[in-house]
Every structure is written in structure tokens, then in C-alpha cells.
Amino acid sequence: MLTLPDLLDQDEIWIGRQDGVLTEVPLDEMDEQRLKNLRMWLISQAAQIHSAEARAYSSASAFVQGEQASIDIDRDFERLIEQDPRTWLREQPLLLAIDECLARHMNLARR
């Protein structure tokens, strides 16, 4: 099953649904418009994605063993909930990779 961290940690492929089936599409193979649409959709979902990530941290803290691990999870959770959802999302590997691909498309268009 695809989890939220799996989704956001992707930096080479997009795993999405097409006709109800999970499909992998390399970001480098996406055209500029599809990348823009994906980026806009993700940003429009930032609050929901951010909330889901916060819930995942809350759930994870119940399964963490060891004092240092618990401290680390609590620190990461505090940092997460203090961030603006859109700002936080733009810092995730998937969004950074999409932005890099879009920049490459723009550079190619200038040539």
C-alpha cells in the first residue's frame, strides 16, 4: 500500500492512479503541462496532506521504542505542525523534483 511518506519522498517517479490502477510515471517523461497540473493539484491539497502527515506522526509516536527515538519524533512533529502546509509541501522531495523538471522544460523552451 502506498503511504503518504512514500508519495512525498518520490523524486524520480509519480505514482498515481489511472483507471483505478496504480501506475508509475517517471517525472522526466512528463510533459510540462502535466507537471504543472500535478504541482497545482498537490499544492491545492496541501492542507489535507499536511494534516495526514501530522496524524501519521501522532500514530507513529505510539510505536516508537526508546527515549531518544521518542524525543526525535516529538521534535519532528512539533516542527511539522508549526509550518504552513504549502511551505512544508514545497520542501518535500516530490515537489522539489517537479520544480526541477519544470525548470528544465523552461530552459529547453528558451533555447
Domains of the chain, residue spans: 4-110
Least confident of 21-35, 44-58, 92-106: 44-58
Cα dist. 52→13, 47, 93, 99, 103 in Å? 21, 9, 17, 23, 29
| pLDDT value of position 49 | 87
| pLDDT value of position 62 | 54
User: Given pLDDT bands bounded at 50, 70 and 90, which one contains residue 63?
Assistant: low
User: Given pLDDT bands bounded at 50, 70 and 90, which one contains residue 5?
Assistant: low
Name every residue whose Cβ is closer than 8 Å to that of residue 55 and which is 6 or more positions away in sequence: none
Cα dist. 107→6, 28, 39, 94 in Å? 29, 14, 18, 20
Name every residue whose Cβ is closer than 8 Å to that of residue 83 and which is 6 or more positions away in sequence: 50
